[in-house]
Amino acid sequence: MSATPASPRSAILLTLAAILCFTLMDASVKAAASTTGALTAVWARYTGQMLIVVILVAPRIATVVRTAYPGLQIARSILLMLATFFFFQALSRIGLAEATAVSAINPILITLGGAVFLREALGPRRIVAVVVALIGAVIIIRPGTDVFQPAALLPLCAATCFAGFTLITRKVGPQEDVWTSLFYTGVVGAVVLSAFVPFVLPPLDARSVGLLALVALFGTVGQLMLIRALSMAEAGLLAPFNYAGLVYAMVLGFALFAEVPDAATLFGALVIAGAGIYVWHRETRARSRTKPPDVE
């Protein structure tokens, strides 16, 4: 039976909307980090998500907490929590566009991981794209030069963790309720981080509380849309659309923080995005030529 034409389009639109929410979350973190610290922001992100999900699914909470993959749900939740922590730490040290540009390597990691762990299609162009994208990341990070910052490695750690989270989400997505995946992500993050936050929680003013609330809201809505998108289409198909985050980050970084990425950052980001988009385009065309006429 043919897939409905609306499914991939809907998944792509959901992915673009999710990435926008995540970029707005990152901007909120960057605005709050100087007074709240990164760990407090991560805690607010997952505790807020847990509370929002529990309120929304309260009538059927007993059904939502049941999962056929408890180990995978915990693993994906820990990976996302680590990805968020690494990225939030980066935002307190480097620019929004720079951090996003380095982490933009994650779609390439998702594509490679999809082939290795999920047996999704992998051609020679994708292998070349991995190498080219790594070169792009090196151009941005610039190890061994005077402008190198160790903090620029944090988004790379975040991208690796996020790729693992995405692949596990893709594996459990079609079988699990979206709300189940969202619930476990929030609970695991909230429980683990609540053990540490009392030791680092600073006094919070109204502005900080408002920004932390935005972090929780944008993060929860973005993850809900991403989980739904990954249950509708292959991780490799959706991966290139993560590059929209580069545009979002540059616009918000300039508008909110007067940040202008330097030439090396822009060039490295273009190398990473170009590698991913080119290989996706070529592989998609190759697959379409081998499909039967009645398959979308």
pLDDT (0 to 100) of residue 132: 86
Residues 104-142 pLDDT 10s: 888 778 878 877 777 776 667 777 777 888 888 888 888
Mean pLDDT of the chain: 84
Q: Which of 186, 276, 280, 177 is nearest to 227 (CA)?
A: 177
**Are the beta carbons of 97 and 155 closer than 8 angstroms?**
no
Q: Which of 32, 31, 4 is nearest to 255 (CA)?
A: 31
Find where tokens 């991966």 sit.
239
Residues 17-39 pLDDT 10s: 999 999 999 999 999 988 899 99
Residue 3 has pLDDT above 80, yes or no: no
Give the span between the Cα atoms of 14 and 138, in whole angstroms.
30
Residue 197 has pLDDT above 80, yes or no: yes
Tokens of 54: 């529990």
pTM of the predicted structure, to 2 decimals: 0.79
Q: Which of 1, 23, 6, 17 is nearest to 251 (CA)?
A: 23
Q: Which of 244, 220, 194 is nearest to 80 (CA)?
A: 220
Give the span between the Cα atoms of 134 and 198, in whole angstroms.
38
Give the span between the Cα atoms of 275 and 125, in whole angstroms.
9
Task: Spell out a b/e string for 209-231, using b for 16 or more CB atoms within 10 Å of the CB, else e.
Answer: eebbebbbbbbbbbbbbbbbbbb
Residues 174-196 pLDDT 10s: 778 888 988 999 999 999 999 99
Give the span between the Cα atoms of 197 and 204, in whole angstroms.
13
Give the span between the Cα atoms of 14 and 7, in whole angstroms.
10
Residues 52-74 pLDDT 10s: 889 989 999 999 999 999 999 99
pLDDT band of residue 296 (cuts 50, 70, 90) is very low
